[in-house]
Homo-oligomer: A and B are copies of this chain.
Amino acid sequence: MVVAKLWTMVRHFEGAPKPEDFKLENKELPPLKDGELLLESEFLSVDPYIRPYSKEKKEGDIILGSQVARVVESKNSAFPVGGYYVAYAGWATHFISDGKGLDALPSNWPDNLPRSLALGAVGMPGVTAYYGLLEICKPKEGEVVLVNAAAGAVGSLVGQIAKIKGCKVVGSAGSDEKLTFLKEIGFDEAFNYKTASSLAEALKNASPEGYDCYFDNVGGKFSDATLQQMKDFGRITVCGAISQYNDAVPPTGPYIQPYILFKQLLVQGFLVWTWKNRYTEAQKQLLQWIAEGKLKYHEHITSGFENMPAGFIGMLKGENIGKAIIKV
């Protein structure tokens, strides 16, 4: 008999998630029925989207999230023991599946790459950066691309993909260590939004001519400042609003419609699930860029399933550089 460990939600988050909002439970799993398989978690992913989407969960529910898991027992010939899959199974060390919704790791997965990348540069964040930048911002060679939360899982890839496409890339991040990281992975300019005396000045200094593309993971006051620096016909991917996820009352700011109007901006929301049927295409390109050394990945690994809430809380605070991963 297998006992799974899982993290459940004691109460809905109010403001920033706190350790006491999470409860570690043991759950005995029943024997497998025909067609079922048992999977064991190897890596789990903590991502910003978990915060807003947790509103849709009930108290006592397992915390939502994805993981890379290995088949350890199977009564389904399509999923033999030893196979690795990405699964949206929540925060659990073990779970039973009928195979639906399991995504096999790309078949050309190189031996020298950690499978955790299937949760990062070659997974959801990678595909997000790829389509969010290339299909909405559509940056042209020589254009200026701005990304915030630039040292995060998505932002660090957005900047590198924009460089591959021949753009000038500006990133914003919240520590000097992160700025160093951004320069290492090829960003042209980077500034610390926490210590800048004025966001407007920092944006102007980094690109006096303004910005053609803005990949927005943050929203709020950062976007207010950026809208003033956008060039006419600029494109904005709204991919996240992490500055607002903990706010109970929606924060207010100047209406952005006049900027959209008079600069003829295009602003579009991006959720990666919409691109599900084009995942493989993006993953193939991302793997190739990594193999060619054009795309560097960085992971911030927290060890121990029992440390998942700490990893999640730390990620929301911006403690990670690159993709935040929990290693069981």
Contact = CB atoms under 8 A, between A and B. Distances in A.
Contacts of A250: 254-255, 258
Contact of A219 (B219, B258, B264, B274): B258
Interface in A256-286: 256-271, 274
A114 interface: no
Given A216-B257, A255-B241, A255-B253, A266 B264 contact: no
A318 interface: no
A261 B256 contact: no
A240 interface: yes
Interface residues of A, number: 33
A251 B52 CA distance: 27
Contacts of A260: 238, 267-269
A244 interface: yes
Contacts of A52: 258, 262
A262 B252 contact: no
B252 A254 contact: yes
Interface of A: 52, 216, 219-220, 223, 238-241, 244, 250-271, 274
Contact of A238 (B216, B244, B261): B261
Contacts of A251: 254-255
B258 A264 contact: no
A263 B252 contact: no
A128 to B, nearest CB: 12
A252 B261 CA distance: 16
Contact of A267 (B220, B262, B267): B267
Contacts of A266: 266-269
Looking at A220, A223, A238, A255, which has the most chain B CB atoms within 10 Å of its CB?
A: A255
A265 B268 contact: yes
Contacts of A257: 216, 219, 223, 238, 241, 244, 256
B267 A271 contact: no
Contacts of A267: 260, 266-268
A261 B240 contact: yes
Contact of A261 (B253, B259, B261, B271): B271
A264 B268 contact: yes
A158 to B, nearest CB: 15
Contacts of A220: 255
Nearest to A223: B257
Given A261-B271, A262-B271, A263-B269, 17 more contacts: A52-B262, A216-B257, A223-B255, A223-B257, A238-B257, A238-B260, A239-B261, A244-B255, A250-B258, A251-B255, A252-B255, A260-B267, A262-B269, A264-B268, A264-B270, A264-B274, A266-B267
